[in-house]
Amino acid sequence: AAVLAGASTVAIALLAWGVPGPVAVAAAFVIGLSAGSDGDLLSYLVSRYFGMRAFGTLSSLVFSAYLVGTSLFPWLTGVLAERTGSYAAPMVLCATLGVGTVVAMMVLGQCCKPALVASN
């Protein structure tokens, strides 16, 4: 997860610097790959770090926070771009948040296997 988030962070930073065509296409591909994996990763991490006893509740709370972020961030990106006159500031913000994500993934520590729910 940290490697994928790091690759996406580097790709966003490259786009913010205005890299030329082929590099920009490769960066966009890496960002798309990362964007397609984050929702699945949330459920995996919740099951491994918190177990299965309250998986539905915890997973729904984490995914709800994720959806709020993915709903508000495009608007925030537009506001920042409008006020600054370019998309550089929102992209630098994305790259900075990406660095925070990589650090958070690195400090999570080893997880355990999910606990099985006891059946009656």
User: In the prediction, which pLDDT does 116 show?
Assistant: 56
Mean pLDDT computed over 89-100: 92
Mean pLDDT computed over 64-74: 91
Q: Is 109 exposed, middle or buried (0-12, 13-18, 19+ CB in 10 A)?
A: exposed
Region of 94 please: left (phi>0), alpha (psi -120 to 50) or beta. Answer: alpha
Give 108's pLDDT tier (boundaries 50, 70, 90): confident
User: In the prediction, which pLDDT does 114 show?
Assistant: 56
User: In the prediction, which pLDDT does 52 show?
Assistant: 85
Q: Is 81 exposed, middle or buried (0-12, 13-18, 19+ CB in 10 A)?
A: middle
For the record, the structure tokens of 108 come out as 């999570």
User: In the prediction, which pLDDT does 113 show?
Assistant: 63
Longest dimension (CA), the chain: 61
Distance CA 26, CA 102 (A): 20
